[in-house]
Amino acid sequence: MLFNLPAGDWAKGERGLACHPDRVEEFRAGVTLAIAYAQVLGNTQINCLAGIRPQGVDDETVEKTFVANLKYAADKLQAVGIKLVMEMINTRDIPGFYLNNTAQALSIREQVGSDNLFLQYDIYHMQIMEGDLARTMAAHLEEINHIQLADNPGRNEPGTGEINYRFLFEHLDRIGYAGWVGCEYKPLTTTEAGLGWLKAHNAI
């Protein structure tokens, strides 16, 4: 599975450091720390959160900072056999989050130019931001190295909202997705009761 690079002070509302030009050294120190944790835990991939766009910084500087930080992290992780993924997050739950759709992520990936940078595709976030889930995952299967899920609205377990997860699970099998699908939802009632979706959606 995976964990996130250090994302700053979560209690103060920080959601990543990678797009902040004044915190590059802190980001790089976080890469070193993450590698140490991953080698102990046996993780083979690490997620980078772009962060909330810093106020008063122009678009070009924010983008260049993000690209440079991703290149640094991808290179350092590749040297020790760990893959880097980046996650697109909706701007309703996290207003101002810098990386928020697939097209933007693909553009950033092209600029980074590393074969060790992939997308983490969170179905919940992308349903809110762009929809067209099945086609997008099929079109960019080679760039997606991890998938996460929750239903929408509510961010609860599959079967509680509008997303047709039975279809999407079958679709992922059809297109040959071989990675993990992580569950990042809030149980509607209890954790145990919420797990009933696995059988209902033919996921076990």
Q: What is the pLDDT of residues 143-172, one digit of tens each?
A: 999 999 999 999 999 999 999 999 999 999
Q: Which residue range forms the structural domain that includes residue 18?
A: 2-200
Which residue out of 25, 63, 87, 143 is catalytically annotated?
87
Q: What is the pLDDT of residues 36-63, one digit of tens each?
A: 999 999 999 999 999 999 999 999 999 9
C-alpha radius of gyration, the chain, whole number = 17
User: Count of domains in the chain?
Assistant: 1
Q: What is the pLDDT of residues 23-40, one digit of tens each?
A: 999 999 999 999 999 999
Known catalytic membership, residue 87:
yes
Which residue out of 110, 143, 184, 192 is catalytically annotated?
184
Q: In this structure, are residues 150 and 184 in contact, taking their beta carbons and an 8 Å threshold? A: yes
Q: Is the pTM of this model over 0.85?
A: yes
Asked if the bond preceding 153 is cis, omega within 30° of 0, the reply is: yes
CATH for 65 = 3.20.20.150
